[in-house]
Structure 1
Amino acid sequence: MKKKTIIRTIITVAVIAIAFVAVARVLVNNKKKNAEKTAIVAQSDGAVAVRISVVQQDTLQQDFSANGNFIPVQQLNFSSENAGRITRVLVDEGSRVSKGQLLAVIKADQLNVDVESAQAAYQNAMADKQRYENAFRTGGVTQQQVDQARLALSNAEARLSQARLKVSDTYIKSSINGIVNKRFIEPGAVVSPGTQLFELVDISRLKLQVNVSEAVVAQVKEGDQAKIRVSVFPDKEYTGRISFIAPKADNTLNFPLEIELTSNPEQLVRAGMYGTAIFTAPARNSAILIPRSAFVGSVNSNQVFIVKDSVASLRQIVAGRVLGDRVEVLQGLNPGDKVITSGQINLSEGTRISIVK
């Protein structure tokens, strides 16, 4: 029993000794750090240590980019204009079609009967007009009766043209050159006016749809060139032409913009793919730039400290664009001025400073 008690005592003493050594090391390190700080203060003779940056004048050229999706320049949702039963469908999904090509046929028996009836009415109206005109020459009818006969003939002709037009609409023909992306009908299906029949797209010409900020809109115009990168073809670079800029921003305060692809060799780029448009802003002759960290508080304060005769002097400036970690200065600074970039929290007008290199 005594032996166990002695062992516990030895272990406790060892733990206390180890803890004491650790505390002693921390105290020694803290003492060294305090001594270093004291030495710095002594060297600076009570001045506030700061870092500075020399104001530079540089030429600016900034690229803007925006992401979006490719869409066809022409896309058509083809719908039926008549009611009836589909008798023939002549194309499948993926089929290439040309303008005027027959795609499908709707049964037109009733419409043909309407054409025959309108044709008969037209012939009868024409005969009546001729009889009234002959009778008018001999005084058998009045001018008013002749005019009514002519009006009846005109109405009959219009009804005949309308009936023929409805028959022609039963032959569904493509109005663009493109590809059948989707087919919504099968032979035997009954359709009504407005029923969607096909979705046709023309991928020979594509455009990239993006949304850009007001800063980009202010730098570009319709007809400008833009570089285009396609995410699935990172080793290829395409070019495009800005074909549309929205006159009004959307709910997110961005402006819809479209860039038409100039060329699409082998039609590798397809509608729906993801792309990035890169706009090159015109280079500005010169601009004064300072680090963003030079501002007192934030860029919106438009205040910086400059070094003047080894003291801090508060300067009111006018900030321009924020370019990453640098800010354009429109007014208040000159090239060669030294702005303070750290330690501003300890400064006021006239505070003595020492520059840390």
Structure 2
Amino acid sequence: MIRDTSGQDRPVTRSPGRRRLWLALAGAGLLIAAFAAAPAVKRMMGSGNSVSLQRLGVATVEIGPLVRDIAGEGKVVAAMSPTVYALHGGNLVLKVKAGDKVAKGQLLGEIDSPDLRAKLAQEQSNADALRTEALRAEVDGREQRASLRSAYENAAIDLQTARNDLARQTKAFEAGAVAGMQVEKARDALEKARISAAHAEAGLGLKDDSLKFELQAKQQALQRQTLLVKDLDRQVAELELRSPVDGQVGQLLVAERANVAAGAGLLTVVDLTALEVQMQVPESFARDLAIGMPGEISGNGRDWRGLVSSVSPEVVNNEVAARIRFDGATPDQLRQNQRLSVRVLLDKRDKVLTVSRGSFVEDGGGRFAYVIEDGQAVKRPIRLGAQSLSKVEVLEGLKPGDKVVISGGSAFENVERATLSP
């Protein structure tokens, strides 16, 4: 019979003190490893996903000048480009064509209006008739005045004759040569002559006033008619289209011999001696524009100084139209709608804390930025000031030498810290 090994087995007794020693050593090792890995664990816990540094745009905060300007492309426009309108309807007859040089006051065309010319002739005839009536009334007045004055003078003579007759009859009565009845009769004749003379004098005065008023009414009617004729003369003169400025005929808005209505635009005249450059400015910069700001105009291999002459009060497609005039004489060889480069200086500041402009200005409204520290991008609150197309002013939150993530910050997903990888 084969024996088993049960007789050889013996229970092993372990020492309790030695087991505790091994457990203590293992715990100490784990504690040391935990303390050693604590910073890395902390970074990994707060950083989220790692972001490659090559995907980011980084700029250094520095102290230097900040020039706020607006640059863009503009087109040459005439400061004065009036449109000639038809003040009256009729058939248009042009004397010039597009591109012709014209002088101020030069005849550009005529509007043929037979109705207006006929009305002028009629009113002129009426004025002549009224002038004749006024002259006739003046002659009639002189005749009537002469007749009344003759009657008055005859009455005055009769009055004097009656006085003389009364004096003779009175002397004869006192001498006893005539009866008293003759004296009374002479006295009645005197009174009658006195009344006739008074009426003749009053009639002469009244007739003078009447003739004066009648002649005045005729003259006023003639004056009104004369004013009407002058107004029609003015309207007929307006049928001739004359150039308002020295320049060049621009665009013809209607065809030759066309029948135009009153108020219709006919053609434009471009004043090439006063040119400006018009540019479109983003709405965000338009509020900083002001008339008189300096600018630069470039084109044809040359540069010119300019000044902002006007800023449109209307916003169209998030842009505002601004015009820059040349500071000095208008350059030669410029044409309407020619393209030129324009730069307007808004502000210039020296020795300010600046950083390159980037997407962080728009992201979050420029209230924070990610600063690179020890291989991490740390979110830091900031406050920005003036902005230009290339730089922004830093008021709070950054210091010279800080490296700021200016683009690609959306990859951080708004975490407080992010680990950066090469």
Which range, TM-score by smaller chain? 0.5 to 0.7
Alignment match of 1:169 (pick from 238, 245, 266): 238
- Return closer, same or farther for 1:303/1:223 CA change in 2, 3 Å cut-off: closer
Shift of 1:331: 1.8
Q: Name the SS for the 2:315 alignment partner.
A: coil
> Contact 1:103 / 1:174 at 8 angstroms: preserved in 2?
yes
* Residue 77 of structure 1: aligned partner: 83
> Contact 1:70 / 1:207 at 8 angstroms: preserved in 2?
yes
Shift of 1:251: 4.0
- Return closer, same or farther for 1:158/1:346 CA change in 2, 3 Å cut-off: closer
Shift of 1:207: 1.6
* Residue 203 of structure 1: aligned partner: 272
Distance 2:102 2:71 in 1: 36
Q: Which is worse superposed, 339-348 or 235-244?
A: 339-348
Distance 1:297 1:104 in 2: 57
Shift of 1:227: 1.1
Alignment match of 1:258 (pick from 323, 343, 346): 323
> Contact 1:294 / 1:339 at 8 angstroms: preserved in 2?
no
- Return closer, same or farther for 1:127/1:108 CA change in 2, 3 Å cut-off: same
> Contact 1:208 / 1:259 at 8 angstroms: preserved in 2?
yes
Shift of 1:321: 4.9
Does residue 315 of structure 2 align to residue 245 of structure 1?
no
Distance 1:143 1:270 in 2: 68
C-alpha distance after superposition, 1:105-161 (max 9, x if no partner): 444666554444323322333344455567497534377655543431222011110
Distance 1:325 1:176 in 2: 43
> Contact 2:67 / 2:388 at 8 angstroms: preserved in 1?
no
Alignment match of 2:64 (pick from 54, 58, 62): 58
- Return closer, same or farther for 1:154/1:63 CA change in 2, 3 Å cut-off: same
* Residue 96 of structure 1: aligned partner: 101
Q: Name the SS for the 1:175 alignment partner.
A: coil
Shift of 1:271: 0.9
After superposition, residues 21-60 of structure 1 pair within 5 angstroms as: 48=43, 55-60=61-66
How many pairs does the alignment contain?
306
Alignment match of 1:121 (pick from 111, 122, 126): 126
Q: Which is worse superposed, 107-116 or 53-62?
A: 107-116
Q: Name the SS for the 1:203 alignment partner.
A: coil
- Return closer, same or farther for 1:331/1:177 CA change in 2, 3 Å cut-off: same
* Residue 281 of structure 2: aligned partner: 212
> Contact 1:180 / 1:201 at 8 angstroms: preserved in 2?
yes
Matching residue's letter, 1:221: A
Structure having the higher Rg: 2
Q: Name the SS for the 2:235 alignment partner.
A: helix
* Residue 332 of structure 1: aligned partner: 397
TM norm structure 2 = 0.57
Percent of counterpart pairs with the same letter? 22
Matching residue's letter, 1:237: D
Distance 2:361 2:72 in 1: 32
Distance 2:377 2:97 in 1: 78
C-alpha distance after superposition, 1:84-111 (max 9, x if no partner): 445x643233221101112234446665
> Contact 2:366 / 2:383 at 8 angstroms: preserved in 1?
no
- Return closer, same or farther for 1:196/1:58 CA change in 2, 3 Å cut-off: closer
Is there any run of 5+ residues in structure 2 with no aligned partner, and where?
1-35, 44-49, 146-203
Matching residue's letter, 1:120: S
Q: Which is worse superposed, 48-57 or 213-222?
A: 48-57
Is there any run of 5+ residues in structure 1 with no aligned partner, and where?
1-40
Shift of 1:309: 11
> Contact 1:103 / 1:173 at 8 angstroms: preserved in 2?
yes
Q: Name the SS for the 1:92 alignment partner.
A: coil
Q: Name the SS for the 2:104 alignment partner.
A: coil
Q: CA RMSD in A?
A: 4.4
Structure with greater strand percent? 1
* Residue 159 of structure 1: aligned partner: 228
C-alpha distance after superposition, 1:2-59 (max 9, x if no partner): xxxxxxxxxxxxxxxxxxxxxxxxxxxxxxxxxxxxxxx99x8667499897643222
Distance 1:197 1:297 in 2: 49
Structure with greater helix percent? 2
Matching residue's letter, 2:286: V
> Contact 1:55 / 1:338 at 8 angstroms: preserved in 2?
yes
Distance 1:287 1:115 in 2: 75
Shift of 1:327: 4.6
> Contact 1:296 / 1:344 at 8 angstroms: preserved in 2?
no
> Contact 2:61 / 2:404 at 8 angstroms: preserved in 1?
yes
